[in-house]
Structure 1
Amino acid sequence: MIGALNTRPVRIPLALPPPSPRKLSHTRTVVYQGYDREDGLWDIEAELTDVKTFGFKVPNERPFPANEPIHGLKIRVTLNDQMVIQDIATSMDDIPHPECAGAPHGMHKLIGCTMGPGWRKVIAQHVGGTEGCTHLREMLFNMATAAYQTLPSGQWRRRELAGQPHPEVTQAPYYLGQCHSWAYDSPTVQRAYPMFFKPKASDSTDN
């Protein structure tokens, strides 16, 4: 007779296992920062840097020395409280090809767009394909996440400093139902937003 299945939860280690013998080849660093501006707007900045540990050469191009940036790119997006883009600026400090300098030419088309649901589609419509730069688009994708980390908490902080009460939470935050910890039946939601908590339906059925 087959024994009962082990139903204990599987524990996943939080640390990476020791790697196989290796040496560093490439490092991509991406940093996002959110700023509360004195004029009431918000700046979200992204910076991307690519560096290799060895020199290389693309055919018919200049050589790329080791440990020097191949890409050194920056974007600043200015938002209002509704996450509508008020301004956008791009810096291309380090680029692999001279033609890369023309890649940001359409970034201004994003002014007036909202950084929210459908953001990736908005990016593709305005600066997709050869109308933009792959790396700038990658930075833009995740700037929305940085904005969500910056604005709500920053707006609450502004109210606290001004001695204003926080508004009543009447709508579920956008992140509910979007990840494991924020599932509607999660203890996290039960603790933080009990008004939106939805217990998991029982899997058992009466015979």
Structure 2
Amino acid sequence: MRDGEVLLVTDVQNDFCPGGRLAVPGGDEVVPVINRLASRFRHVVLTQDWHPEDHTSFASSHPGKAPFSEIEMPYGPQTLWPDHCTWESEGAAFHADLDIPQAQLVIRKGYHKEIDSYSAFFENDRTTPTGLSGYLRERGLTRIVCVGLAFDYCVRYSAEDAVAHGFDTIVIEEACRAIDLAGSAAATKASFRDRGIKLR
């Protein structure tokens, strides 16, 4: 791969794979694809969902609310999820077959109790940064190749933020899987077209 290019591997964790608490259909199928891609990159960043047990995005934190329902938070609409990726749990661990020893950075997100975090760049309030943009610029990395889970949530938000911050942004569809709530996968593809995010 060319100089200035980084592979952004999003949330390839046990809870997002079959048998996990928020399993993405076919989530484990991305692992060998991502491993093959990663072997061609000098620069790799991983993200890891990392929630406290009482995170506000969990349906269990809102009595009477069901998983996948939606509530209004101070920062806007929030989908309520099954408890997942609680920090230091087996579900939060990377998939055992993920093999990217050259990864240089792990961005943990969603660790603030009161706010969810889909993007690798910002919390869901869209103002609290993770520091990833500054890291990439300081390293001279200008093109981001996005893969992982889930295509229509954390990969989507990360790709949208990447292109909004001036990075050349590509999403490798074969290396992603979607949750697809209420047509969210199709909406993601439409958003990518509108924003000039390349889908390959």
TM-score by length of 2: 0.29
More relative contact order in 1 or in 2 (CA 8 Å, sep 6+)?
Answer: 2
Q: Which has the larger share of helix?
A: 1
Rg larger in 1 or in 2? 1
Query: TM-score of the superposition, structure 1-length normalised?
Result: 0.29
